[in-house]
Structure 1
């Protein structure tokens, strides 16, 4: 049969296997087994934009094409239509199964990215990451994991999401972690969010709350005073509620305790300043170091008998106290205000006696001066 007659038997829509013979600037010539070579325009090579035919094809390569147009001595082919049909079927299966797959980001466009999935797969800006992205240029040329979230053949629409993959992975990690962690575990995390009542720390796919009371041994007015977003912190797991997926954490519990090595910091006989924190019937509790309170027994508050501590003390008052006894093991410290006063009086008496011995002044001089002032 004459080759030209055979060409006339070709119909639009026929699928053929051919070999690339030549690459021109705007098209490729393809041997399709007939005397007339098939013409594959650059626009019909791929569903994505192709700058040069050599970017997508190579001489000698076997390709499957579809007949798009038949004329007397010319056959126009399309590889794009064959690839698209195959790709649509694959993408529909991926959408149905929720399969995660890889694809290269080819372009950065208004409102998102374009990925090569055999078709133009559009990734909306809100589906690129689970966090806000300011500059998308760094994604061009990268290979990312995606899920198909929407398909519409009639509108040639393919919508992809990398964010969905990230969230799915985080969800899996979260469940694994929830089953794995237990009370008492010490972990490293990153501060994600700071609130009025504490801070949320990511401990590897799930956030746990460090309540403001668990931030420090010292009193904390605002969590932001001691925490910074993005900061790495060590935390101890206080509790895990797998049903509500709530985890309570503590930073305080992994810090050196205020009573640790207290006997090296403060020793019996020392006089230190402290703040009256609480008044009770039997005495007053005075904070001498952050988180360290000692008891001033009522008998050691004043050098005279008092009925209740609030006769001479009030909460918030700064006082000098003498350390009588300290125990790291029992976290107890005995203090005295009375002995500070007694020591002070003793020193003043000793100073007076020294001054008297040196003839600096006499008791009569002091009394005389005072009497003189009264007569005036």
Structure 2
């Protein structure tokens, strides 16, 4: 009797909220039956209270004879018998421990796993504890498709911990921005104006292409994409393509890098003297018309000017009266100036000058000459002798006094 009383006294009572040690007795039908040490009572550990993974196999998580540390949730009385058991949880005990670990750890970076996409963001798990990352804190840009993160493990910064409110907020964006800032600093330390660097086309816009230089996006403006004029960025580069570009300007304070793609490729004017020379007669296409002449493409990327005075022997008031854009013409090269990227052309030099036009041209030259003012001749008139001298009698001779 004394031994029995000692045994009864050694059995402690079990209450909700207690942390107990239990041995797994059986594993069956999605739950494990455990014997709570030092109590003489049993507990039930369901798959739901073991893990958040509803698809998990409980037989792979617990084994018969294994000893577990569990949290007592509540008492359960059998319907047909007076047997008393307790619902226990391994998951919630781990969550409690995780909460204890989290308190005071704001701004610390931890590794979490995204479990599912929820309204307004992502649900993540950290050491058995469920946390939340708002959509605005997932990436540097607002993320609408949060589903693509589910199943991934990544670093996130703890923003708020409140065990009483079961509130655990994290930010992946903070970590991404810090990593990007460190990468930018490293990239800027290696960049130098005038050097060629290699990067990947990150995105294309209507005004150019952004090149990822390994943490810094540099802009190749539309005018620096190609030697050709009025090209579409999409016709020159594609997203993901690796390109070599030249650094034109660096503004580390603003985080900007200006790049040029065309500066790394041979230009149409390179070696133009070997392709064109004064006196050459070539075919070209009228590219554009101005008030002072027509620009004709004579080589890819090279437009020469046919001045209005070189269009025809006849007087041309406006180039549009004689030529049209897209028209094929034969021209003669008058001058090639590679340094200034200029080519002077003539159409009329290949045409025979009409006689009428020659006369008109001479007339125009005469009309264009400034007229000299007429010189006034100085004449000295000598009066006759009878007019040089006279007397009073000559004037009043016929007057009677």
Q: How has the CA–CA distance of structure 1 residues 295 and 139 changed in structure 2, closer, same or farther, with 3 Å as cutoff? A: closer
Task: Tell me, yes or no, if structure 1 residue 21 matches structure 2 residue 30.
Answer: no
Retained in 2: the 8 A contact 1:322–1:336?
Answer: yes
Task: Tell me, yes or no, if structure 1 residue 48 matches structure 2 residue 52.
Answer: yes
Q: In 2, Cα distance between the equivalents of 1:302 and 1:157? A: 81
- After TM superposition, the score normalised by the length of structure 1 is 0.68
The aligned length equals: 334
Aligned counterpart for 1:301 among listed residues 300, 310, 316: 310
Q: Deviations over 1:201-230 (max 9, x none)?
A: 433333323333223223227656756666
Matched residue, 1:271:
282
Q: How has the CA–CA distance of structure 1 residues 16 and 112 changed in structure 2, closer, same or farther, with 3 Å as cutoff? A: same
Task: Tell me, yes or no, if structure 1 residue 90 matches structure 2 residue 94.
Answer: no
Aligned counterpart for 1:145 among listed residues 145, 155, 166: 155
1:2 aligns to what SS in structure 2? helix
Shift of 1:250: 1.7
1:165 aligns to what SS in structure 2? helix
Q: In 2, Cα distance between the equivalents of 1:337 and 1:26? A: 93
Matched residue, 2:212:
202
Matched residue, 1:62:
67
2:351 aligns to what SS in structure 1? helix
Q: How has the CA–CA distance of structure 1 residues 52 and 331 changed in structure 2, closer, same or farther, with 3 Å as cutoff? A: closer
Matched residue, 1:323:
333
Q: In 2, Cα distance between the equivalents of 1:183 and 1:231? A: 23
Unaligned 5+ segments in structure 1 are: 346-376
2:109 aligns to what SS in structure 1? coil
- After TM superposition, the score normalised by the length of structure 2 is 0.65
Matched residue, 1:8:
12
Q: In 2, Cα distance between the equivalents of 1:277 and 1:182? A: 41
Aligned counterpart for 2:266 among listed residues 233, 252, 256: 256
Task: Tell me, yes or no, if structure 1 residue 218 matches structure 2 residue 222.
Answer: no
Q: In 1, Cα distance between the equivalents of 2:264 and 2:188? A: 21
Matched residue, 2:168:
158
Q: In 2, Cα distance between the equivalents of 1:43 and 1:295? A: 83
Q: How has the CA–CA distance of structure 1 residues 107 and 38 changed in structure 2, closer, same or farther, with 3 Å as cutoff? A: farther
Q: How has the CA–CA distance of structure 1 residues 97 and 111 changed in structure 2, closer, same or farther, with 3 Å as cutoff? A: closer
Shift of 1:190: 1.4
CA RMSD of aligned residues (A): 4.3
Which structure has the greater CA radius of gyration? Answer: 2
Retained in 2: the 8 A contact 1:16–1:66?
Answer: yes
Retained in 2: the 8 A contact 1:191–1:227?
Answer: no
Retained in 1: the 8 A contact 2:156–2:174?
Answer: yes
Task: Tell me, yes or no, if structure 1 residue 192 matches structure 2 residue 197.
Answer: no
Retained in 2: the 8 A contact 1:284–1:296?
Answer: yes
Q: How has the CA–CA distance of structure 1 residues 49 and 335 changed in structure 2, closer, same or farther, with 3 Å as cutoff? A: closer
